[in-house]
């Protein structure tokens, strides 16, 4: 019988040992919209031969990319790391736990953590060790806010005949769509415009780095970006975002989703710079599409994700 695409599981585990060590993941991730890429380079080994035809070749630099989305939810209890916390740490974010209050994730520029992903599709398991990645938050009207992860890990041949793992969703609160009852706060450059869509990309440069005697996935740079689509304010006196674009003003972008402790996710970028301005329309209203660069201030503070 053909392998069934709907029968899937994703497990994650944070590595606390030497880079690339398998922590044997056991935390189930409630993910969807998967994409898998098995990557490498073909090295031609093509000596002269007394006839036409393809020469030999070698596959080198093997690594694996895995992309997926999750719903942006809390942890069920304020001050407890969410079930996807290991993924955020594997994306170059620090984790600061304030007991009974919140958990904050912020960028770092060194000492990046790595972990492992087990991706199981109807009995075939693929392990990505030494995995690191980047993440993008999207908040859009009438949709559940989501986090899109783009992970990369070392290559290993898949194994077959693996029992589908038992999964525990008890630490995953029920997600809520982005609408007035559930998303009480959106502010941008000192104003609270009507929001259609917001995106914030951490922007980690994630590279497979091969050496003669070593291979690993490294985070080599970061440039955080974003965008917002809003109803244009009713007058320039109310708020002139185009003037902010011209002046290079940097100001706060903030959204809070959720109203119940244990299922609140807050995003803050203190130095959001408008990099492009466009106009459109939606339901008869004029809209503005604003591209953003999320700047650091003191360093490693471009944005923070707070789960409480």
Residue 51 lies in a domain: no
Residue 44 lies in a domain: no
Query: Phi then psi for 247, rounded to 5 degrees?
Result: -80, -20
User: Residues with Cβ < 8 Å from 247, sequence gap 6 or more?
Assistant: none
Rounded Cα–Cα distance for residues 126 and 275 (Å): 40
Residue 97 lies in a domain: yes
Residue 145 lies in a domain: yes
Residue 167 lies in a domain: no
Residue 72 lies in a domain: yes
**Do the beta carbons of residue 191 and residue 233 sit within 8 Å?**
yes
Q: Which domain holds residue 32?
A: 8-38+59-162+173-307
Residue 292 lies in a domain: yes
Of the listed ranges 52-61, 218-227, 253-262, 277-286, the least confidently predicted one is 52-61
What is the number of domains present in the chain? 1
Residues in the chain: 308
Residue 209 lies in a domain: yes
Give the pLDDT of residue 1.
79
pLDDT digits (tens, 9 = 90+) for 229-282: 999 999 999 999 999 999 999 999 999 999 999 999 999 999 999 999 999 999
User: Given its phi and psi angles, is residue 180 left (phi above 0), alpha (psi -120 to 50 degrees) or beta?
Assistant: alpha
């Amino acid at each position: 019988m053909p392998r069934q695409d709907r029968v899937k599981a994703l497990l994650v585990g944070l590595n606390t040992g030497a880079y690339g060590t398998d922590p044997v993941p056991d935390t189930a991730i409630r993910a969807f919209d998967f994409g898998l890429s098995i990557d490498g380079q073909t090295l031609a080994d093509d000596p002269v031969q007394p006839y036409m035809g393809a020469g030999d070749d070698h596959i080198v630099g093997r690594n694996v990319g895995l992309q997926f989305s999750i719903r942006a939810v809390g942890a069920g209890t304020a001050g407890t790391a969410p079930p996807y916390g290991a993924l955020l740490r594997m994306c170059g974010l620090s984790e600061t736990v304030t007991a009974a209050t919140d958990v904050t994730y912020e960028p770092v520029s060194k000492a990046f953590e790595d972990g492992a992903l087990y991706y199981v599709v109807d009995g075939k398991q693929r392990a990505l060790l030494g995995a690191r990645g980047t993440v993008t938050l999207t908040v859009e009207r009438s949709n559940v806010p989501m986090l899109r992860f783009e992970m990369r890990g070392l290559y290993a041949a898949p194994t077959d005949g693996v029992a589908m793992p038992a999964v525990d969703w008890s630490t995953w609160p029920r997600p809520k769509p982005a609408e007035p009852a559930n998303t009480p706060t959106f502010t941008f450059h000192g104003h609270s415009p009507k929001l259609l869509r917001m995106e914030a990309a951490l922007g980690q440069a994630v590279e497979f780095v091969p050496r003669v005697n070593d291979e690993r996935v490294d985070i080599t740079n970061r440039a955080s970006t974003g965008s917002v689509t809003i109803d244009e304010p009713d007058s320039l006196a109310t708020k002139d975002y185009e003037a902010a674009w011209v002046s290079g003003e940097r100001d706060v972008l903030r959204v809070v989703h959720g109203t119940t402790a244990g299922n609140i996710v807050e995003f803050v970028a203190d130095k959001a710079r408008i990099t492009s301005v466009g106009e459109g329309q939606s339901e008869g209203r004029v809209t503005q599409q604003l591209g953003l660069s999320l700047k650091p201030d003191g360093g490693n503070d471009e944005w923070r994700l707070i789960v409480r």
